[in-house]
Structure 1
Amino acid sequence: MMKEWATVISWQNGEAVVSCDVKSSCSSCASRAGCGSRILNKLGPQTSHSITVPCDHPLVAGQKVELGIAEGSLLGSALVVYMSPLVGLFIVASLFQMLFHTDLAAMAGAILGGVGGFLLAKGLAPALSRRESWQPVILSVGLPPDALRIDTSSSTDNV
């Protein structure tokens, strides 16, 4: 089970809208100057994602919850997203190469197959995301933000 902490934005009718912060691993790496991931992280403006998760007990805005998702669903979705364009690329490129016997045709087939595989993955995504085993669940709930108050003043300060 993959786990991540999220912050509750709102809760209504048994559904919680939670915000998950995007974590970047580029803060402490020694090769920050030449890192491609660091550059790509800077390009994207989105630093948090909001999702809706079913929850029976009431939650308040600002409360932390621990979300979990099964590894199998994560691997399955990655397989669909990455492999369908790759398989489409190779199959259609091979087919065009066999039919037309030119590299230009194979390149055109590779482009068509890659785009077709991407569209196939995009079409399969809504159906696969409705599976209950692929949905995130709330594993644990933190205290509401106003439930715990720590008084830092000591009794010697009042004397």
Structure 2
Amino acid sequence: MIKEWATVVSWQNGEAQLNCDVKTSCNSCASRAGCGSRILNKLGPQTSHTLSVACDTPLVVGQKVELGIAEGSLIGSALLVYMSPLVGLFLVSALFQALFGTNLAAICGALLGGVGGFLIARGFSLKLSRRESWQPVILSVALPPDVLRVETVTSADDR
């Protein structure tokens, strides 16, 4: 089970809206200047994701919850999203190359196969996302933010 903490945005009728912050490994290693991942992370504007999760326990805005998702569903979705366009690209490109015998046909086949593979992945992902085993679940719930309060008392003698 892969686990991640999220913050409650809202809770109504047994459904919680949760905000998950995207964590990157940038700024944690010594090779920040020449890192390609760091540059790619700067290009993407989205730093958090909002998702809906079923929860019977009433939650408070700002409360932290631990989410979990099965490794198999995560690996399966990654394979679907990355491999189907790639397989489509190679298969249709090879087919067009064999049928027409030109590089232009192979390029057109690669484009058609990649887009077709993407559309197939999109169609399957909509069906697979309805499976209960592919949904994130709430594993644990932290205390609401207003329950725990820490006070420090300093006396005149400590100064």
1:44 is displaced (CA, Å) by 1.2
Partner of 1:118: 118
Q: Structure 1 residue 53 and structure 2 residue 63: aligned? A: no
What is the aligned length? 158
Q: Structure 1: which 5+ residue stretches go unaligned?
A: none
Q: Structure 2: which 5+ residue stretches go unaligned?
A: none
Partner of 1:9: 9
Q: Deviations over 1:131-158 (max 9, x none)?
A: 100000000000000001111114x349
Describe the SS at the equivalent of 1:107.
helix
Moved over 4 A (4+): none
TM-score (norm: length of structure 1): 0.95
Q: Structure 1 residue 148 and structure 2 residue 153: aligned? A: no
Q: Structure 1 residue 41 and structure 2 residue 41: aligned? A: yes
Partner of 2:82: 82
TM-score (norm: length of structure 2): 0.95
Query: Aligned residues: percent identity?
Result: 75
Distance in 2 separating the partners of 1:44 and 1:60 = 30
Partner of 1:139: 139
Distance in 1 separating the partners of 2:18 and 2:60 = 11
